[in-house]
Structure 1
Amino acid sequence: MAMVGYARVSSVGQSLEVQIEKLKHCDKIFKEKCSGVSYKRPRLKACLEYVREGDTLVVTRLDRLARSTLHLCEIAEQLESKQVNLQVLEQSIDTGDATGRLLFNMLGAISQFETEIRAERQMDGIQNAKARGVQFGRKKQLTPGQCQELRKRRSQGVLIKTLMEV
């Protein structure tokens, strides 16, 4: 019955130290520096494969483990099938009892709701900025005339590699 920690930060510039300090009581800690949006988190995958029946997976916060309710439920299902408990330190969740499981599911749903509301606000902001004439993306490097010339030369069979050298 091991205590297994998982710590993740979103970018290389961020530090894992605070999470590691909170997980120091764990027998083993898996560390990762990558976005939560990505489902390609090799250390999380290794962690979930490592835990065994009777173990407890410990994270500092739910958002360090999963980015969406769906992903959180998938992880919870995987842990439950292996008979592994989940402990979330900052939200005082321990799925080892019924109350902890209830709280876990409620907080997961609330986290998903917050993520969706944040995305809606972001889209509203983008639409408002576009309505005010704000241009997104980098400036075009070629004039319309240059684009037309390149299309003409491409239709004549000139290779893209050759066109890019110009």
Structure 2
Amino acid sequence: MRRITLWALSTVTVLLLLLSYHTSTSSRTSLGAESSEVAQGAPDDVGGSSSGGSSSGGSSSGGSSSTATGDVTQTRWGPVQVEITVADGEVTAVDVLQQPDGNGRDQQINAYAIPVLKQETLSAQSADVDMVSGATVTSDGYVQSLQSALDKAGL
């Protein structure tokens, strides 16, 4: 009798936990919660990516600085495109023109990952940046578009 009661209570508990689980697309949370989810290795967009798409790149001059726009990289979750600003042979700014944003989870991941990738780029001054854990596909697309922009800028 004790085993049956214990089994029934365990089953009810598991069902309640499953029914109370909120999916990542249900709502947006604060950035603090997003970064802890990504840092804990939340499941990400696992899959391949391929370069392609159109290029709106090139560079424009404005004094001693210029910009170069990388090719659009199509990833599993959406396009990624990076634009860099170069002054005196150094990358001084990075802008992400396109990023996956099809659902709340994409927005959460990119709210954390994109600033990290930008900072890594400015520190490394190359496309040799560390991937962001939990944002593998976005990171891969970012690096491919960044390399394209660096090539166009002659760096």
Q: Relative contact order (C-alpha < 8 Å, sep 6+): which is higher?
A: 2
Whichever structure has more helix as a proportion of its residues is 1
TM-score (norm 2): 0.24
Please tell me whether Structure 1 or Structure 2 has the larger radius of gyration of its CA atoms: 1
TM-score (norm 1): 0.23
Whichever structure has more strand as a proportion of its residues is 2
